[in-house]
Structure 1
Amino acid sequence: MSPTASRAGADPEPAGAVPPPAPGGTGSRDRARGAMLGLAVGDALGAPAENLKPSQIRERWGRIEGFVTDDPAGTDDTEYAIFSGLLLAAHGSALTVAHVESAWHEWIADRDEGPFRGAGFSERGTLENLRRGLAAPISAQHRHAWSDGLAMRAAPFGVYAAGRPAEAARLVSIDGTVSHDGEGIHGGRAVAAGVAAAMTGHDPDAVVLAALSVVPDDSWTARSLHRAVAAARRARRDPAATQLATERAVRSATVIGGYPWTDLAPEAVGLAFGAFAAARGEFAEAVAMAVNMGRDADTTAAVAGALAGALRGEGAIPADWAKAIGPVRGSCLPSMTGRHVLDIADLLTPPPDGRERAAA
């Protein structure tokens, strides 16, 4: 498959249509690069802390304020975001479930290469179902359809549908139909819509409202997001609240105590938006808070990084963090080896002269 970038206008475009200028003017590419690079940075920063408790993080590293390994790298979060970004660049607003299912077969399920290391439970369940011959939406009928596997790869949809949260949510739902259901879909919709709002806005509160606008009010995802953001805002208003106290407040409002799985979409999305709200969209603060709260730290930091990167742009990401992100290694998805998140950002936004850009 050789994706070609296309960009949606107010209505779905036919495949191959020349994209209109991006919403947000000259800053749109900077924000797109901020979103995608922010996702990868958050993923790599959070990877060592994945599945750890905050107390375990403090015992091992104190507070994580940067990379704690000599060779930082992204996980399946970054590789799947690239996968979805390429798929979206190929089909734009004409994306269908059939396109997504075909890409899963072509790039993942029908390949023999690689041990599929580091994949989440939802991805493994989907892969097994597809290899058994099941088709979407039945392919998403596994025990982890509520996981954060869609939320972790949702940012490209917000980048593509910049300024149009509802369209971002619609498109990510199509992607998620192959692998997720229920709260798993809601989590992806919230993230995609939040990134879409951040791409053209400046107010962190508007980003939160956009996320809430595309999920049912009575959903677990909406309730978790409300609780996390409310806790973050209360802590910000308290002049005596320390960084640690803020993290504890957000985590306590969101995490299901004693539950063995850490990849719950409502929990991960709540923690990510809580960190984003507590930091008022400032990149380094949001990502560090997401990492230090533990649980599915690579995903929560990847989502917080995508939101803050879209809101503040590529320049908001500390240079040493950005420099550490190279082409992905294909440790989970060998078919993505050698691709860089910044190339995906450029595919999903038109170049300054308005012409289409073909995928490498």
Structure 2
Amino acid sequence: MAISAQSRARGALLGLAIGDALGMPTQYMPRSLVAARYGILDHFEPAPDDNPISRGMPAGRVTDDTDQAVILGQLLVEGGGYVEPRRFADELLAWETRMIAAGSADLLGPSTRKALTLIAEGMPTDETGRTGATNGAAMRVAPVGIAFPARPVEALVDAVFQSGHVTHNTTIGLAGASAVATAVSAAIDGSTVSEALEAAVEGARLGARRGYYFAGGDIAARIGWAIGLVRGKQQGEALDLIYDIVGTGVATQEAVPAAMAIISLVPDDPWLICRLAASLGGDCDTVAAIAGAIAGACHGVEGFPPGVVTDLEAANPALDLKGLADRLLTLRGSASILPPARRAGVRIA
């Protein structure tokens, strides 16, 4: 049965949130503890008391990965594809203020926090992200992949840069975000999982040409290497290899290849992809969010068990991921990275 673009767009955001919520209780825990306590997660769990990041959060609640993707998606819709950098920074700061007021310890990541501090000190927004090489841009970039077509890839990477450079303006940060956005966008256009992963490598190569140089492993090369590392392996061995060798930390060159390797391991089952990624340990809510967004875009919302989607929506009643996905999809083909005031005769959907 053909999967509609609407289903794929909704699947991208729901998959991101499902992976995020699954990994919420296990984030920043060692893999050995996750394996002993949960095995392979098969449902949403509340955060345990010994998790200093997510302690107190109920089962199914999303974290910063989903929240920041929603902020970015809403700004994309508001700007017709353009994200005003200072407005984005202000929205991220406002989000963190709300989280602090709610008693949450799951706040802004190191790259985003540093960039926003530099903005407050008066630095221009085209320079604030010059050290941002962690996975924050990659975790939230799926809405860009929905709003912008996969071809030409250069234009999609331009959109990734425009929307993310305020916090992640580095060769590594933009390569990782471009990989995820390109995979999601290719999937919206009907690509298979293997084709989406190939697109991710292409996006990473182009993204690495943007931003300030930051030393580190090449994202495109590491994606291909990580996929090859787990090819033909049993799930348990593959997870160990990803955790021990690829890495599941906040570095983009760990999190993005780890997500791609998980997708390649069980390409036909987006729910299992999220479950395995969330069971890795480390920054596994982000790895699972990235993997879930791409897998959801490839398989559509129907790829996830209906009860899982229902539970996610019940745990996060303020989120309207389906509605946001629909609004982003209406931009596809007409979205522009130019500020609205500079568009002469360009229709904004």
In the alignment, the residues of structure 1 paired with residue 313 and residue 275 of structure 2 have an alpha-carbon distance, to the nearest angstrom, of 20
In the alignment, the residues of structure 2 paired with residue 147 and residue 288 of structure 1 have an alpha-carbon distance, to the nearest angstrom, of 23
User: What is aligned with 2:308?
Assistant: 321
Instruction: Name the amino acid aligned to 2:80.
Output: G
User: What is aligned with 1:129?
Assistant: 118
Secondary structure of 1:92's counterpart equals: coil
8 Å CA contact 2:138, 2:176 repeated in 1: yes
Normalised by the size of structure 2, how large is the TM-score? 0.80
User: What is aligned with 1:312?
Assistant: 299
Can you list the C-alpha shifts for 1:302-349, whole angstroms capped at 9, x where unaligned? 0111011100001111122211223897xxxxxxx9342222101112
In the alignment, the residues of structure 1 paired with residue 288 and residue 13 of structure 2 have an alpha-carbon distance, to the nearest angstrom, of 12
User: 1:282 Cα deviation (Å)?
Assistant: 1.9
In the alignment, the residues of structure 2 paired with residue 298 and residue 255 of structure 1 have an alpha-carbon distance, to the nearest angstrom, of 14
8 Å CA contact 2:68, 2:92 repeated in 1: no
Q: 1:81 aligns with which of 69, 88, 96?
A: 69
Q: 1:282 aligns with which of 269, 275, 283?
A: 269
In the alignment, the residues of structure 1 paired with residue 130 and residue 4 of structure 2 have an alpha-carbon distance, to the nearest angstrom, of 41
In the alignment, the residues of structure 2 paired with residue 59 and residue 280 of structure 1 have an alpha-carbon distance, to the nearest angstrom, of 26
Query: In structure 2, do the counterparts of structure 1 residues 243 and 149 end up closer, same or farther at CA, with 3 Å as the change threshold?
Result: same
Secondary structure of 1:287's counterpart equals: helix
In the alignment, the residues of structure 2 paired with residue 72 and residue 291 of structure 1 have an alpha-carbon distance, to the nearest angstrom, of 12
In the alignment, the residues of structure 2 paired with residue 230 and residue 267 of structure 1 have an alpha-carbon distance, to the nearest angstrom, of 15
User: What is aligned with 2:175?
Assistant: 186
In the alignment, the residues of structure 2 paired with residue 108 and residue 347 of structure 1 have an alpha-carbon distance, to the nearest angstrom, of 21
User: What is aligned with 2:250?
Assistant: 263
Query: In structure 2, do the counterparts of structure 1 residues 63 and 215 end up closer, same or farther at CA, with 3 Å as the change threshold?
Result: closer
In the alignment, the residues of structure 2 paired with residue 281 and residue 201 of structure 1 have an alpha-carbon distance, to the nearest angstrom, of 15
Q: 1:170 aligns with which of 155, 158, 163?
A: 158
User: What is aligned with 1:62?
Assistant: 39
User: What is aligned with 2:200?
Assistant: 211
User: 1:214 Cα deviation (Å)?
Assistant: 2.0
User: 1:182 Cα deviation (Å)?
Assistant: 2.3
User: 1:196 Cα deviation (Å)?
Assistant: 0.7
In the alignment, the residues of structure 2 paired with residue 26 and residue 286 of structure 1 have an alpha-carbon distance, to the nearest angstrom, of 19
Instruction: Name the amino acid aligned to 2:236.
Output: L
8 Å CA contact 2:39, 2:279 repeated in 1: no
User: Percentage identity across aligned positions?
Assistant: 27
User: What is aligned with 1:91?
Assistant: 79
Q: Is 2:253 aligned against 1:251?
A: no
Instruction: Name the amino acid aligned to 1:210.
Output: A
In the alignment, the residues of structure 2 paired with residue 46 and residue 26 of structure 1 have an alpha-carbon distance, to the nearest angstrom, of 27
8 Å CA contact 2:31, 2:243 repeated in 1: no
Give 5+ residue unaligned stretches, structure 1: 1-24, 236-241, 257-261, 330-336
8 Å CA contact 1:251, 1:293 repeated in 2: yes
In the alignment, the residues of structure 2 paired with residue 162 and residue 195 of structure 1 have an alpha-carbon distance, to the nearest angstrom, of 10
Instruction: Name the amino acid aligned to 2:224.
Output: H
In the alignment, the residues of structure 2 paired with residue 312 and residue 112 of structure 1 have an alpha-carbon distance, to the nearest angstrom, of 33
User: 1:73 Cα deviation (Å)?
Assistant: 0.6
In the alignment, the residues of structure 1 paired with residue 96 and residue 45 of structure 2 have an alpha-carbon distance, to the nearest angstrom, of 33
Q: 1:228 aligns with which of 223, 226, 238?
A: 226
8 Å CA contact 2:144, 2:181 repeated in 1: yes
User: What is aligned with 2:141?
Assistant: 154
Secondary structure of 2:61's counterpart equals: coil
Secondary structure of 2:159's counterpart equals: helix
Instruction: Name the amino acid aligned to 1:67.
Output: F
User: 1:252 Cα deviation (Å)?
Assistant: 3.9
